[in-house]
Amino acid sequence: MIKENQTALSDFILVGYSEFPVLRVLLFVVFLFIYVGIILGNGLTIYVTLTDAALDSPMYFFLRKLSLLEICYTSASLPKMLANFLAENKTISLVGCAVQMYVMFVLASTECWVMTAMAYDRYVAICHPLHYKLIMNKELCLRIVTGSLTVNIFVQMGQVYLLCTLPYCGSHEINNFFCDILPLLELACGDIFVNQVYMFSATIVIVILPFLLIVASYVKIISTILKMSSVESRKKVFATCSSHLIMVSFFYGSATLVYVSPRSKETMDINKWFALFYSIFVPMLNPIVYTLRNEEVKICLKKLFKRKP
């Protein structure tokens, strides 16, 4: 009987936001516009930072990679979510679930390290300005991105493999709009100790360590800013860091609420809304925050959209 149940539950149901059936068409339209906005906004950021010589610096190199990660990350979950708003059949196969998780885990983990690199870039620029060009060279920037991506490819491969080897029986409803590790572990009917140890170890490497490095960078930055005698200099320097601080707070704040809060029926319903925030709204806000709070990017955008006589 157990074997039959495990075979029958090779497919999962993404519950998503099915508690609002009368609003599904409206939600489809809203999230379709959000998805298009994410693609266009981050795509524009990539284009501007890639083509304008004034933005040829490590800070915009990392911003460009961050925007690319946001586009790919949302593309791994949002199309399926949009389809489920209109489809009666909201199932996803175990293989489809594994692929979705793997892509999202790799991209989100790499995003953590890209955000860390952006914090380190600001630290070097503010605390060691005379050595900035020597330290933050193109080779180092490329190594940070490719190195973090390579490590996460192998780390998440092991995590997803362990999830796929678990037996699943009983309920097969995932109370979220995408496949995630915690809901799947709750559906497993086998021993998940190894999965929990692996997840804890991976979290330290790909989430906690980057966050601690970001905090350490900004402690040094704030300490340097406070030593500046000119109030205008303080404001100018802080303005260059505020956009990154806002996005880091949004991303880590919402993700922490999802993965650290106690698991219960009530918190699971709340957590899927927080998951919506860090997986969709943060990528949407990314180009807005960096554009509106960055004078260099605004100047380049004005030049781009300026009509020729």
Number of domains comprising the chain: 1
Radius of gyration of the chain, Cα coordinates, nearest whole angstrom: 21
> What's the mean pLDDT in 228-242?
80
CA dist 117 and 121 (Å) reads 6
pLDDT score recorded for residue 88:
80
> Does the pLDDT at position 101 exceed 60?
yes
pLDDT, one tens digit per residue, over 244-278 is: 888 999 888 888 777 776 666 666 667 777 788 88
CATH number of the domain at 244, please. 1.20.1070.10
Average per-residue pLDDT for the chain = 86
pLDDT, one tens digit per residue, over 122-176 is: 999 999 999 999 999 999 999 999 999 999 999 999 999 999 999 988 778 888 8
Q: Six-digit token pair at 99? A: 């692929």
pLDDT score recorded for residue 263:
63
pLDDT score recorded for residue 152:
94
Q: Give the residues across from 65 on adjacent strands.
A: none
Domain hosting 239: range is: 2-305
Confidence of residue 308 (pLDDT cuts 50, 70, 90): very low
> What's the mean pLDDT in 65-83?
94
Q: Apex CA 227: angle with CA 225 and CA 232, to 5°?
A: 55
pLDDT score recorded for residue 267:
67
